Amino acid sequence: MNTPSNVQDPRRQLFAASLGLAPGLGRLKGRNILILGAGQRAPADGAAADAVGNGRAMSLLFAREGAHVACADVDLPAAQETVRQVRAAGGTAVALAADAADPQFAQVLFRQAAQAIGPISGAVANVGIANGRNLANESADTWDLVMAVNVRAHMLLAQQGIKDMIDGSALLLISSLASSSPVGRNPAYETSKAALAALCRAAALEGQPRGIRVNGIAPGLLDTPMGRAASVRSPSRAVRPLPFGRQGTAWELAHTALFLIGDEASYVNAQMLYMDGGLGSSIGLAPQAVAA
């Protein structure tokens, strides 16, 4: 006789890929990929000592799949640590400094990346800042800084990438579930992330003549260093009902990015994929499912 099973047990929905343990299959062999935001900064309280961030997970996974990776970050030592880990795992990577708030960064970055690892055939914009201000406390200056990093930098990376990347390349923008939800009370961040869906479509249209695809990922709650820091600031973030009874992992985002940046997604274009376990559809708040 079958007995009821609790689908909220997070162990039921964790796999080797979810934990960064899946072996590489050569899906990016011969590709040269630039990742903006490949470093990682841990909160001062040390809560993220055993967590991996999105940029680092993508760098490690892409290299494991055979890509040469240019790891760019405003924090060069953080990018260098990502490169150290990639090389320790047998992959190939280089570290580059890049300040996404600089209007000239993309042109310089693509040139340096191509000189370091060869013609670029994929790029990821994985940068974003949040100022923690609600609408009443927002100012023109704080708003503009968020937009410069979270929207303008993505536009500049896409603009330069469509010029510099080889035909048939792929570009990926990292958005957020916050793009469709105001519950974080952080309107500058939410607005900036929402803008990436329109930018994704515009860049995809521009890239079509050269076979360059542009897609995006909007992750939900992830157990990353930044996610843990956010949970420290807002404890309610981590205790809310979640699909599968857990937050996502950076490795799950990295595998989603692997699909979209790779040739297996060759007919996927101008899409914003919500990678949130269904949280945005409110299934995390639905009555507990029971298997018969």
CA distance 158 to 104: 13
Mean pLDDT of 48-66: 91
Q: Which residues pair with 36 in a beta bridge?
A: 72, 125
Helix (H, G, I), strand (E, B) or coil at 39: coil
CA distance 282 to 154: 29
Amino acid at residue number 232: V
Q: Assess contact for 248 and 193: CB atoms under 8 A.
A: no
* Predicted local distance difference test score (pLDDT) of residue 238: 64
Q: Would you place residue 283 in the very low, low, confident or very high pLDDT band (cuts 50, 70, 90)?
A: low
| Sign of the dihedral defined by the CA atoms of residues 95, 98, 100, 105, in that order | negative
pLDDT tens track for 109-153: 999 999 999 999 999 999 999 888 899 999 999 999 999 999 999
Amino acid at residue number 217: I
DSSP 280: G
The pTM (predicted TM-score) of the whole model is: 0.90
* Predicted local distance difference test score (pLDDT) of residue 182: 85
Q: Assess contact for 158 and 197: CB atoms under 8 A.
A: no
CATH code of the domain made up of 29-40+50-273: 3.40.50.720
Distances (CA, A) of 277 to 26, 65, 221, 234, 274: 27, 25, 9, 21, 8
